[in-house]
């Protein structure tokens, strides 16, 4: 485990490029991740492999080369850019005689370092425990703390069984505490949604979400040139005009191949995005992996079912682009610089336009049994007429705004058979 109290932990990075390597040519991001832990890099070894070894990821020859390379160097930890299964990690530690961690573990450690709120800490611990449950022969300091270390000394099967049982107990207890927090969050969310529309910031880590959040809402949230600076969701009012106000949220950033344990643990935080009225997808246009990063954010949005929420692509950091023709073409993107305020007026106008309830007159067709969606239509729109047609279907003529209509359509099969702009 990286000791975060000691910022001078020395790491040697092993960057592995092989078939289907998800991070080929993206060593910069991996190096940023390592530096984000506050550790120093003593050395880097690049390894190209044609096939992965089941027991040690890299073959014997490459291991021997690595051994020679690191024999002269002083470092505390080897960090692999590639994910390792538990047995590979164990075997490598045995052969290389030093602690080994992989990218997933690195990200988990960064999250653990950043978590501030009690729910954030619980979510990270859940992810860590789930990750550790496949690696049950490691140090158990956190569990020892839970149980005062009694009965946990000495290796062997018996300890493993106790560890496994304790792990299960701890996971269960965290899940139940998180469930209670989620109930409270959902109450808060509902009351927020009642009082105002919500706009959620999403984006790849370090894209500039918190900087934009701070500039737009005049806040002073922590924004920094490090990965996963923000973990806990934050909400602040954002004035669109003298009378219109929405609630803006800033949340955890995404990364390519976000470890599944973290997606699961942060599901409730991420699912908040589904209930937003609008998503601002913040993109760092100065990052040469812009398109890949955009795609991986969109992938997570899809995974959590938030891909139906309307999105504005915010092309941030345009101040870093010297040649305008270099700005990547992002469909309907608004170009801004969160840092110096460029383009923010245009962004506010676009947000207002997207949220303004432009009502359309729609005739919506439903089956007789769709009573839930029928009552939702009554809640969300101004119903002008309702009748049962010759095919025994319900037809409701109503004035409804696009966002509400999209929301209805997301949950139920409905059909608009007539549509025109309402007069008011
Ligand atoms: N040049 C320039 N830098 C920016 C701009 N917006 C943000 N940054 C810088 O980019 C870095 C990351 O900004 P954050 O706002 O913390 O990014 P984030 O998306 O909230 O990152 P995480 O919370 O880590 O996911 C900081 O060093 C900012 O100062 C911009 O418009 N121009
Ligand atoms: Mg942030």
Q: Report pLDDT digits (tens) over 239-253.
A: 887 667 899 999 888
In this structure, of 244-253, 339-348, 377-386, 399-408, the range with the lowest mean pLDDT score is 399-408
Nearest CA, atom 9, ligand 1: 208
| pLDDT (mean) for 247-275 | 81
DSSP 7: T
pLDDT class of 150 with cuts at 50, 70, 90: very low
C-alpha 22 to ligand 1 mean position (Å): 24
CB 311 within 8 A of CB 332: no
Alpha helices in 59-204 (DSSP H): 60-71, 86-96, 103-114, 118-132, 141-147, 157-195
Name beta bridge partners: 400.
Answer: 360
- Please write the tens of the pLDDT for every residue from 169-188: 899 999 999 889 888 888 88
Q: What angle do CA 95, 96, 102 make, to 5 degrees?
A: 105
* Predicted confidence (pLDDT) at residue 28 exceeds the cutoff of 50: yes
Q: Which of 204, 208, 256, 284 to mutate to test the pocket of ligand 1 (most atoms within 8 A of CB)?
A: 208
- Best mutation site among 115, 116, 223 for ligand 1 pocket (most ligand atoms within 8 Å of CB): 223
Tens of pLDDT, residues 46-105? 999 999 999 999 999 999 999 998 988 888 899 999 989 989 999 999 999 999 999 888
In the chain, what percentage of residues exceed pLDDT 70? Answer: 85
Task: State the pLDDT at residue 37.
Answer: 85
133 pLDDT band (50/70/90 cuts)?
A: confident
Host H or E run for residue 53: none
Ligand 1 pocket residues where CB is under 6 Å: 203, 205-211, 223-225, 227-230, 253, 316-317, 319-320, 337-339
Sorted by where each starts, the structural domains of the chain and their CATH numbers stand as: 10-101 (3.40.50.11060), 115-182 (no CATH), 187-355 (3.40.50.300), 359-421 (3.30.70.240)
* Gap from CA of 176 to ligand 2 centroid (Å): 28
The ligand 1 atom at the shortest distance from the C-alpha of residue 253 is 25
Of 42-46, 271-275, 359-363, which has the strongest mean pLDDT?
Answer: 42-46
Other C-beta atoms closer than 10 Å to the C-beta of 219 total 16
Q: How far is the CA of 275 from the centre of ligand 2 (A)?
A: 20
Please tell me the distance between residue 210's alpha carbon and the centre of ligand 2 in angstroms. Answer: 4
Parallel, antiparallel, or unpaired for β 278-284 and 245-250? unpaired
Please give the average per-residue pLDDT across 248-265, as a whole number: 82
Q: Give the predicted TM-score (pTM) of the model.
A: 0.75
210 alpha carbon – ligand 1 mean position (Å): 7
Q: What is the pLDDT of residue 226?
A: 74
pLDDT(424) > 50: no
317-357 pLDDT, tens per residue? 999 987 666 566 676 789 999 999 999 999 999 998 888 76
In ligand 1, the atom with minimum distance to the C-alpha of 338 is 31
Nearest listed ligand to the Cα of residue 226: 1
**Half-sphere exposure in the Cβ direction for 149 (13 Å, CA):** 4
Minimal-distance CA residue to ligand 1 atom 21: 206
Instruction: Return the bridge partners of 10, or none.
Output: 40
């Amino acid at each position: 485990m990286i000791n975060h109290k000691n910022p001078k932990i020395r790491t040697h990075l092993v960057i592995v490029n092989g078939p289907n390597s998800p991070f080929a040519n993206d060593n910069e991001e991996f190096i940023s991740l390592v530096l984000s832990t506050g550790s120093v890099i003593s050395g880097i070894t690049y390894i190209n492999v044609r096939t992965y070894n089941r027991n040690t990821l890299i073959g014997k020859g490459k291991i021997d080369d690595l051994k020679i390379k690191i024999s002269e160097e002083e470092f505390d930890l080897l960090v692999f850019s590639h994910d390792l299964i538990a047995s590979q990690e164990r075997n490598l530690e045995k052969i290389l005689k030093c602690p080994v961690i992989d990218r997933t573990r690195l990200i988990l450690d960064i999250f653990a370092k950043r978590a501030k709120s009690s729910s954030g800490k619980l979510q990270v611990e859940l992810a860590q425990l789930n990750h550790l449950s496949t690696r049950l022969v490691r140090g158990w300091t956190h569990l020892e703390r839970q149980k005062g270390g009694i009965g946990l000394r000495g290796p062997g099967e018996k300890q493993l069984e106790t560890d496994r049982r304790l792990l299960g107990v701890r996971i269960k207890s965290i899940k139940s505490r998180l469930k209670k927090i989620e109930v409270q969050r959902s109450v808060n969310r509902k009351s927020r949604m009642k009082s105002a529309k919500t706009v959620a910031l999403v984006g790849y880590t370090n894209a500039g979400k918190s900087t934009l959040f701070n500039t737009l809402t005049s806040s002073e949230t922590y924004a920094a040139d490090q990965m996963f600076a923000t973990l806990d969701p934050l909400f602040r009012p954002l004035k669109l005009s003298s009378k219109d106000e929405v609630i803006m949220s800033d949340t955890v950033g995404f990364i390519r191949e976000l470890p599944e344990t973290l997606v699961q643990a942060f599901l409730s935080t991420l699912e908040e995005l589904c209930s937003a009225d609008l998503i601002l997808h913040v993109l760092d246009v100065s990052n040469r992996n812009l398109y890949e990063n955009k795609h991986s954010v969109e992938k997570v949005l899809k995974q959590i079912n938030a891909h139906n929420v309307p999105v504005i692509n915010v092309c941030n950091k345009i101040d870093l682009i010297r040649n305008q023709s270099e700005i990547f073409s992002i469909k309907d993107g608004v170009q801004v610089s969160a840092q110096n305020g460029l383009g923010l007026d245009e962004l506010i106008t676009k947000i207002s336009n997207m949220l303004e309830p432009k009502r359309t007159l729609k005739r919506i067709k439903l089956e007789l049994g769709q009573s839930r969606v029928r009552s939702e239509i009554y809640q969300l729109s101004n119903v002008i007429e309702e009748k049962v047609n010759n095919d025994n279907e319900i037809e409701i003529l109503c004035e409804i705004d696009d966002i509400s209509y999209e929301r209805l359509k997301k949950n139920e099969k409905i059909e608009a058979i007539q549509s025109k702009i309402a007069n008011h």
